[in-house]
A and B are shown apart, each in its own frame.
Chain A
Amino acid sequence: MANKIIYSNLFSEARNNVVALITTSNVPDPNTATAEYRKRIYSREPDVKSSDFKGYPYIIVWPADVDIEKEKGRQSLDGKSKIVYWDIEVEIFSSDRGYGEKDANGLADIDSLSDNLAKTFQNKSNRTTLSTNNLHFSGFTTTAVTTENIANERVYKRSFMLSFESRMQVSA
């Protein structure tokens, strides 16, 4: 459950708000049934050690990057309100070679997850929810798909660069 962002939770709640939207109903798992649970959202790179890692596809929501406007003339008279920018990177990884398990599904999986993520972050009611929690002007840009080898698996990767801004109170 995500809360409203105030001056005391600038970093934590920004990320929580994004994670709260990536639910199984908004972004269904292409490989696992809804009733089945598996961890798929990480805050850092998971420790992939075995060549039959079962965790693909997974999503990394990196910690929020916060930038508070420093320029003079852009703050309130009492200096308590300023423009705050957030950048949150969401990366999607899917495997294309699973040793007999759903081989050659990498592109299909990453595209399915990307479609659903884009749909979720473009959705008007989701944007209103984010705005209510002080994450205004939500927008994202995406990168092209790149491939890399992780523990002998060919992995597809795409990034969503989410950005938000708000003019809010940054001091008590």
Chain B
Amino acid sequence: MPKVIVISSSGDLDTCLITLDRIKKNLPRMTRLGMMRFGKILERDMKISAKHSGIKKFTGDHQEKGIRYEQSPRSDVGFLFMKLYMIYLDSMKPHYVSISLRRKRILDWAKQAFSVNLRMKARGVERRKIKKFSVFVKPHPFIRMGYASARPKLNSILKNEIKRGIKNA
């Protein structure tokens, strides 16, 4: 969105040009700062969205380093990194998963599941009473929600940072 900046001085064109140069120098730096600030908010909102969508903490480290925003201080591009299992959790197709003794992690999850039936079956597998069983898993869409929550804040953050950059020029 284009914005018009009016620079006024007491009739001195040189001062105007110097100020304009300072603004040109400051703006990219302030925009980068704004992006970094937005990145941290995006990371936080994405983690909150993952929590709200029902992804439990024990599925991985998504509440710590599993979701993180990174941007080099001199770069105009920032990245939101996410562990691959989070992408799968967000957009997988509903499907059956087989739980057997060989699949340790999912067996551990089944042993502490909310459903009593599931817990009993998991113990049955562990005690080798049953060979395997399957559960129906559904996706936990959270990425779109997290982005929708953070995105409206971008304009405000950039506007604030740019205002500071111009004010201090």
Contact = CB atoms under 8 A, between A and B. Distances in A.
A157 interface: yes
B153 interface: yes
Interface residues of B, number: 19
Given A148-B49, A148-B52, A85 B164 contact: yes
A156 B153 CA distance: 15
A87 interface: yes
A161 B95 CA distance: 42
Contact of B156 (A69, A83, A141, A157): A141
A50 to B, nearest CB: 14
Interface of A: 45, 65, 67, 69, 71, 74, 83, 85, 87, 89, 141-144, 146, 148-151, 157, 159, 161, 163, 165
B168 A161 contact: no
B52 A149 contact: yes
Contact of B168 (A65, A71, A144): A71
Contacts of A45: 48, 51
Main SS class of interface, B: helix
Given A148-B52, A163-B160, A157 B168 contact: no
Contacts of A69: 168
Contacts of A89: 41, 153
B48 to A, nearest CB: 5
Given A71-B168, A83-B168, A85-B164, A146 B152 contact: yes
A73 B160 CA distance: 21
A104 B128 CA distance: 52
Contact of B152 (A65, A151, A159): A159
Interface in B119-160: 145, 148-149, 152-153, 155-157, 159-160
Interface of B: 33, 37, 41, 48-49, 51-52, 145, 148-149, 152-153, 155-157, 159-160, 164, 168
The 7 closest A-B pairs by CB, nearest first: A143-B152, A141-B156, A161-B156, A163-B160, A150-B52, A144-B152, A45-B48
Given A45-B51, A83-B168, 19 more contacts: A65-B37, A67-B33, A89-B41, A141-B156, A141-B159, A142-B156, A143-B153, A143-B155, A143-B156, A144-B152, A146-B148, A146-B149, A148-B148, A148-B149, A150-B52, A151-B52, A157-B149, A159-B152, A159-B153
B160 A74 contact: no
A29 to B, nearest CB: 23
Contacts of B41: 89
Nearest to A83: B168
Contacts of B160: 87, 141, 161, 163
Contact of A161 (B48, B49, B145, B153): B153
Contact of B164 (A65, A141, A157, A165): A165
Contacts of B51: 45
A50 B49 CA distance: 17
Nearest to A73: B168
